[in-house]
Homo-oligomer: A and B are copies of this chain.
Amino acid sequence: MDEFSLIQHFFSAANLDSDNKDVLLGIGDDTAIIKAAQDEELLFTIDTLISGVHFPEDTDPVAIGHKSLAVNLSDIAAMGGRARWFTLALSLPDVDANWLQAFSNGLLSLAKQFDVSLVGGDTTRGPLSITISVIGTAPEGTAIRRSGARTGDSIFVTGKPGMAALGLAAIKGSLALPGTAQATFQQKLDYPQPRLLEGDFLRNYASSMIDISDGLAADLGHILAASHCGAVINTDSLTCWQTGLSTLPDSRLLDAALYGGDDYELLFSVPAGMSFSLEQDWPGSFSPLSRIGEVTEDTGIMMRDNSGKLMKITARGYNHFHD
A31 with B50: CB separation less than 8 A: no
Query: Which of A41-49, A175-183, A252-260 binds B?
Result: A41-49
A10 → B minimal CB distance (Å): 13
A44 with B124: CB separation less than 8 A: no
B50 with A126: CB separation less than 8 A: yes
- CB contact under 8 A between A48 and B2, given known A24-B41, A41-B33, A41-B34: no
The size bracket of the interface on A is: 35 or more
| Bound complex: CA A302 to CA B112 (Å) | 43
Chain A 12-41 residues near chain B, CB threshold 8 A = 24-25, 28-36, 38, 41
Digit string of A116-132 for contact with B (CB within 8 Å is 1, else 0)?
Answer: 00011111111101010
| Bound complex: CA A67 to CA B33 (Å) | 23
| Residue A319 interfacial (CB < 8 Å) | yes
| Bound complex: CA A31 to CA B76 (Å) | 7
Residues of B contacting A188 with CB < 8 Å? none
Further contacts, 16 of them, CB under 8 A, given A44-B87, A89-B133: A2-B322, A30-B209, A30-B211, A31-B79, A32-B43, A34-B42, A44-B119, A46-B122, A48-B126, A50-B91, A87-B133, A89-B89, A91-B129, A125-B321, A126-B129, A127-B129
A87 with B129: CB separation less than 8 A: no
A211 → B minimal CB distance (Å): 6
Residues of B contacting A35 with CB < 8 Å? 41-42, 140
| Residue A95 interfacial (CB < 8 Å) | yes
Of B34, B45, B48, the contact of A30 (CB 8 Å cutoff): B45
| Residue A75 interfacial (CB < 8 Å) | yes
| Residue A143 interfacial (CB < 8 Å) | yes
Please name the residue on chain B nearest to A81 by beta carbon: B31
| Bound complex: CA A140 to CA B24 (Å) | 11
Digit string of A289-323 for contact with B (CB within 8 Å is 1, else 0)?
Answer: 00000000000000000000000000000011110
- CB contact under 8 A between A320 and B3, given known A48-B124, A133-B87: yes
Instruction: Give 27 CB contacts A-B under 8 Å.
Output: A2-B322, A28-B146, A29-B145, A29-B146, A30-B76, A30-B209, A30-B210, A31-B45, A31-B75, A31-B81, A32-B43, A34-B44, A36-B36, A44-B133, A45-B87, A46-B87, A46-B120, A46-B131, A48-B124, A48-B131, A50-B91, A89-B89, A123-B320, A124-B320, A127-B129, A131-B133, A135-B135
Q: Which of A4, A29, A134 has the most CB of B within 10 A?
A: A29
Residues of B contacting A3 with CB < 8 Å? 319-322
Residues of B contacting A88 with CB < 8 Å? 46
Q: Which of A81, A123, A127, A136 has the most CB of B within 10 A?
A: A127
